[in-house]
Every structure is written in structure tokens, then in C-alpha cells.
Structure 1
Amino acid sequence: MKLHKEGYPVIIVVLLLLLVIIVLINILFPKQTPVHYLLYLAGLIFYFFVVRFFRNPIRDVTPQNNLILSGADGKVVVIEEVEVKEYFNDKRKQVSVYMSPLDVHVNWFPVSGKIKYYKYNHGSYFIASKPKSSEQNERTTVVVETEDNKEIMFRQIAGTVARRIVCYAKEGKEATQGKELGIIKFGSRFDLFLPPDAKVEVEIGQKTIGCETVIARF
């Protein structure tokens, strides 16, 4: 299992903390009991969860200009027409994918093109599946203009547990569909804001796979 580079510091810190806790438990309570073994098992399960969270699957994509691919693994929680004040100041079709703590949290570019806009916003940490998280939570916002002059906006949104967003997008650079955009740590959401003429191909509750599920097409 390949791990994301952003996960190594967290994994090392968690491992050291667990080792310190185990040593302290054995110093304070040297006699081994079933409780000791339960604590060891709980620590092992927690460590496995942390390591698994930072898995980084390799997914091969052949870029297609007429398709908008999912930028994240998860479940579709929002499909609606909204007024987008940031950058566009007009109506867009919003499709949101919620990533649970069990999902892969690497994000990928849903389209290819030139990165026209990037902004990071400090914010709150509401539950990522709630509508207000799109405007009020910590988030990054990126706009990519495709070869067909279609502008696609997407957001990485932190949730109640996620406290750090990593985004590699830079204004003026080229984005390639399926290439890594970044990662959100421990529970989050990925929003897409599409042109009105985009045909949405998913439905509420549908599971998505980053780089594979077609969110919409032109």
C-alpha cells in the first residue's frame, strides 16, 4: 500500500505517542492483565486506521475534455443549482462529494486546463456534509479553464475532524485531469461548480471513485 507523503509526519508522531503510552502503562502498572492487552489492541487498531487513512492509490487517467471526473472518493450529497458569488457571481450547478474518515482523502484534478484562480480561506469546522460548510468552513477554491473555454470551479473543504488542507494548485500553471490536486486530513468534502450546460451524470447517494466516476459531461 502506497502512502501519501503528507502522512509520514503524522504516522511517526502517532507511533511515538503510542509507544510512550505503552511504556508509561507498563511502568505504572507492571503486572500484565487482560486490560493491558485490550489497550495494546486498541492502540494497534488506531495506528492501523491512521496509516490506512493516508493511503495513496495510483489511478491512470486518459484526459478527456468533454468529461468532468470526480476529484474524490466518497458519496454524492448535493446536486443543485446555486448562486456562486466567489469569482463567477452567477449561477452554477453544484455537485458535492462527502469523504468519510474511511475514504481515500487524496484529491485529483477533475479536468485539464489552465489554473485561473486559487484562494485559501480560513474558516469554521462544521460537519462537511452540511450545506453551509461550502461557504463557512476552511477551504481552498480553484478555477480551471479548459481548452473549450469552460471554467470549472472546485473546492476542498475541511470538516469537523479535518484540520489541514494541502493543495498543490497554483495560478497560471497547467492542470491535468487525474493528476494529484492535494489531500485533506481526516474527513472532508469536495465541491464542484459546473457551467449551466453541463449534464450531470450522478445522483444523490451515489458512491464515487476519484479519477473514475464521471460527474458530468458536455
Structure 2
Amino acid sequence: FFGFLFIFHFFFFRDPERTPPAENNLIIAPADGKIIKIKKVREDLYVKDEVQLVSIFMSVFNVHVNRIPISGRVELIKHKKGQFMAAWADKAIEHNEQVIIGIHNDSYGKILFVQIAGLIARRIICNLKEGEQVEKGKRFGLIKYGSRVDLYLPNHILLKVKVGDAVKAGRSIIGEFIA
């Protein structure tokens, strides 16, 4: 039994090296998982505009280390206490515990992403500080045992994913800024 727990723990907390694509105009996945939702929404906390919401669900089988989706300056970090509903549920975005992160890129503007705790995942770790300069692909935290990360992207980003796609943090391209 303890052997199983050791193997599961080792498997769950794995942290493979990942090299992000070099192009500055690309937004990469902040989490391993599956795209479960893409829709237009209004984001009023940081971007303050109509945006494209891209939701990535992380199962217990995914790597749970989160990575920065685009280089820039961290302008917002907000921890919101909440419940622990199933992360794939629509209500999770309103009611679950979360950490909200806003990054400003000098060339492309603002994006917001949110680490959302789930039914089993009750611990969010975010190692960022407001004012910090961050590089695309850098590890910044994790959500333990199944969860979700939502990206709020400006409408002038051409999405490169669709619902059902599997993505890898730090490697998969979510979208591309277009002129």
C-alpha cells in the first residue's frame, strides 16, 4: 500500500523540462490538460474588455506544475477563497477557491489567467509577486490533485486550440497575437 502511495505521489508531482516556442507573439498553455471550454465573455477585473475564455481541465493524471503563458510584468495577483466544487463545472469559476493573475506584455497588452481549485485539489501554490518580470514557460506554481486553469485572452488573438484538444504546459500553443 505504501509503495503504491509513493509511486502515485512521485507520478503526480513530476515536473518535466519543457522548452517553450521562441516566438514572442505566441501564448502557451499554462497547464497540462484538456480544453473544456472556449467562449467569449466580459472580463472586468483586469483586462476590462470582451475576451476569449479558454478553460483547461487538469485531471489527476496530468502534470500539475503551472507555467507562465506569455512574458511580461505581473500586475495583479489576487487570492479568492471559495468552495471546492468539481473543477470542470461552470459554477467553479464563480465559487471555487482561486488565484487570479494578470500579466502585461509591453508589445501585446494584458492577459489574465486563473488557477482554480477543484473537488480534490484543495491547495493552490502561486510563487509570483506583483511587479515581477516573468518569462514565458517559467514555472510559477501548481494546483494539487486535479483542477483547472482559465485564460482570458484579448479578442485579437488567433486561437490555435479547440474544445477537446490536449495541451502541455510550457509547450502547446494556445494562441497567436495578430496585427
Tell me the TM-score range normalised by the shorter chain.
over 0.9
Matched residues in 2 for 1:147 and 1:138: separation? 30
Please point out which of 89, 92, 96 is paired with 1:130: 89
Matched residues in 1 for 2:142 and 2:22: separation? 21
Q: Secondary structure at the match of 2:5?
A: helix
Count residues with an aligned counterpart: 177
Deviation at 1:63, TM superposition (A): 4.2
Deviation at 1:149, TM superposition (A): 4.2
User: Corresponding residue for 2:113?
Assistant: 154
CA RMSD of aligned residues (A): 1.3
Matched residues in 1 for 2:22 and 2:135: separation? 7
Q: Secondary structure at the match of 2:55?
A: strand
Do the aligned residues in 1 keep the contact of 2:29 with 2:170 (CA within 8 Å)?
A: yes
User: Corresponding residue for 2:24?
Assistant: 65
Do the aligned residues in 1 keep the contact of 2:118 with 2:148 (CA within 8 Å)?
A: yes
Supply the AA of the counterpart residue of 1:124.
Q
Supply the AA of the counterpart residue of 1:143.
G
Matches within 5 A, 1:117-196: 117-196=76-155
Question: Relative contact order, CA 8 A, sep 6+: which one is greater?
Answer: 2
TM-score (norm 1): 0.78
Q: Which runs of 5+ in 2 are unaligned?
A: none
Do the aligned residues in 2 keep the contact of 1:200 with 1:216 (CA within 8 Å)?
A: yes
Supply the AA of the counterpart residue of 1:55.
R
User: Corresponding residue for 1:200?
Assistant: 159
What is the aligned-residue identity percentage? 37
User: Corresponding residue for 2:6?
Assistant: 47
Deviation at 1:116, TM superposition (A): 1.0
Matched residues in 2 for 1:76 and 1:62: separation? 19
After superposition, the C-alpha distances for 1:59-116 in whole angstroms (9 at most, x for unaligned) are 1235432100001110000100011232234311000110000100000000000111
Please point out which of 36, 57, 60 is paired with 1:101: 60
